[in-house]
Amino acid sequence: MLATLSARARVEGLFWPSVDRGPHLGELRLGIEREGKLDWLDEAAEVEQSYLQDTNVLITRLGDVEVVDFVHELEPVLIRRVTGEGRLVVQCRPDLDGSTRLIGASVEGNRVVFYRRDVALAIGALDAEAFSHGFGSAEGGIASPLSGPAVVVVAFGASSREAVARLDAALQQDFAELLASRRRHDAARLESAAPLVAAPEGLAALYRRTLLVLDLLSDRRSGAVIAAPELDADFEHSGGYGFVWGRDLAFIVLAFLAARRTDLAGRALRWLPCAQEPEGLWLQRHWTDGSLAPSWCKHQLDETGAILFAYEAAWRELGDERLDADLWPSARRGAEFLLGTIEEDGIPCATADLWEERDGRHAFTAAAVYGGLRAAAAMARRHEPHLSDSYEASADVVREAIERELWSDFHGRYLRSLGDPILDVSLLGLAWPFAAVDPGGERMRATVAALQAELGDVEHGVTRYAGDTYAGGNDWVLAALWLGLWCRQVGDTTGLERSLEYAVRVQTSLGLLPEQVTGGGEPAWVVPLAWSHAMLLLASRPELDAVPAGQGGTPAAVGLEGG
């Protein structure tokens, strides 16, 4: 279960039984009744919120009331300890599987259960009185005298019986032991990853928080990782975020490899073939079970190339022969598909761009196809050597076409798409991670100089492209980190460190990295964004062996630590 909460401890979403299912709630509020007046805690004027250090335990202080929230590490159970004085009221208006209709409710003693088909939500507390009203569109909750701490449990199940069993099991356990168990779990997860030894001030804490965030966004059943917790389920402001993008997941896998999160990397890699089309490509986005999600693009060829690149990166980092052998059939199908996308001029055919806004023939797509074919050639040498030469030769065709078709003497830099000179941070993909051009060569340096002149720099923030208006058109955290990764690729340790310092500076008070940051340094739109956190891991750790350096660059030597 993935739980999302507001700055005032209002539960906004409970995603179960996968991190993209639900969020099952219209409303779940806490209130304190004193002298006949009910005050909702999510309307409190005084608020202070923080994580319990290096855990996924959230502490919110609302005036004289404290709320401690965490999800059980093994069960779909949200545990909430409320400390204060008065009468505690928990009000719930469920939205089970996206519907407020045809919801049943039952009350028994200290608990209320809502149910609809295969989703049941139970709420209870010791010494509480449950209530509900309505039929078909049920509401309800519990009320309990509050003198000191009270523990409220919210549990899911595929039936009312299962939800109640989980609720009762949690209520029968001591809160202190439940909290200690959660802390031990989070500590073990951090210990399983590679630590940072030497880092700019504040980075180590952000690095650890990033590991915990990506843990939460990883679906335990499937191994897939969603882009972000869904915040726009009705698609009013975007196409939604609670989905799996193959390209995002490829970058996240690279981050897992860099941080030595081999368990998550392996599970995500094994998920990818499940979402692959029979023709060999990956379409825009998927649900965590591998089924195709609602999309607005015919295809994004960069996703297929990036995934093949991640396959080969996994071999170089892990040397896992069984995993490599299992991924090879998927890699071969992907490579064969990519061969058919290369036009006579050597640039891949028209497709959606990295940002899913324009159809065309793009530099980032060409770089990803080059990187994917090179990766497939390397894999073929281990599995079916007779295929290697054709993949390698086609990759060279794309590389040569990039220099011929996407370099503009007039502009003195690469173009983001054929016939489109607008500066776009996705041009960095020509160098990092795919190295379709020489990262340290004069042409790439000229392109980066133009990007910095118009879009920003690692110290002050970077926008996606000139004229961007999406969700305010602000700076993107991943863009600054991407520029920092290029800096490391060419041996510029100062640029890398400044990009990391920027990320530390614009993190939220809880250590979360947003999609965008306003000119005033405030988080904007999605928080947290998995891709932002993945780029933080990649920039914090030594460079992956799969990423070639530019002239004079020694990426493995300029990481923040060795090992």
| pLDDT tens per residue, range 506-555 | 999 999 999 999 998 899 999 999 999 999 999 999 999 999 998 755 54
Supply the pLDDT for residue 201: 82
Helices and strands, number each (H, E), in the chain: 13, 24
For the chain, percent of residues with pLDDT exceeding 90: 87
Is the pLDDT at 563 greater than 50, yes or no? no
pLDDT (average), residues 127-155:
88
pLDDT at position 192 is: 96
Provide CB contacts within 8 A for 105, sequence distance 6+.
Answer: 112, 113, 114, 115, 132, 134, 138, 139, 140
Q: What is the pTM of this model?
A: 0.96
pLDDT one-digit tens code per residue, 4-60: 999 999 999 999 999 999 899 889 999 999 998 999 999 999 999 999 999 999 999
Q: Decide if 2-170+181-191 and 203-230+240-557 have a common fold.
A: no
User: C-alpha 101: how far from its chain's center?
Assistant: 31
* pLDDT given at position 236: 77
pLDDT surpassing 80 at residue 182: yes
Confidence of residue 325 (pLDDT cuts 50, 70, 90): very high
- pLDDT value for 421: 97
Q: What is the pLDDT of residues 274-324, one digit of tens each?
A: 999 999 999 999 999 999 999 999 899 999 999 999 999 999 999 999 999
Residue 143 CB burial class (10 angstroms; 0-12, 13-18, ≥19): middle
pLDDT tens digits for range 485-501: 999 999 999 999 999 99
Quote the pLDDT of residue 562: 43
CATH number of 2-170+181-191: 2.70.98.10
User: Which top CATH class is 203-230+240-557?
Assistant: mainly alpha
Supply the mean pLDDT for the chain.
94
What CA–CA distance (Å, rounded) separates 416 from 151?
55
| pLDDT tens column, 282-295 | 999 999 999 999 99
Nearest to 225 by CA among 266, 195, 190: 266
Please provide residue 307's backbone torsions phi and psi, each rounded to the nearest 5 degrees.
-65, -45
> DSSP secondary-structure letter at 461?
E
Domain locations in the chain as residue ranges: 2-170+181-191, 203-230+240-557
Q: Which pLDDT value is given to residue 135?
A: 67
Residues 6+ away with beta carbon under 8 Å from 430:
363, 364, 367, 402, 414, 436, 437, 444, 447
Give residue 36's Cα distance to chain centre. Answer: 44
Pick 433 or 232 by higher pLDDT. 433
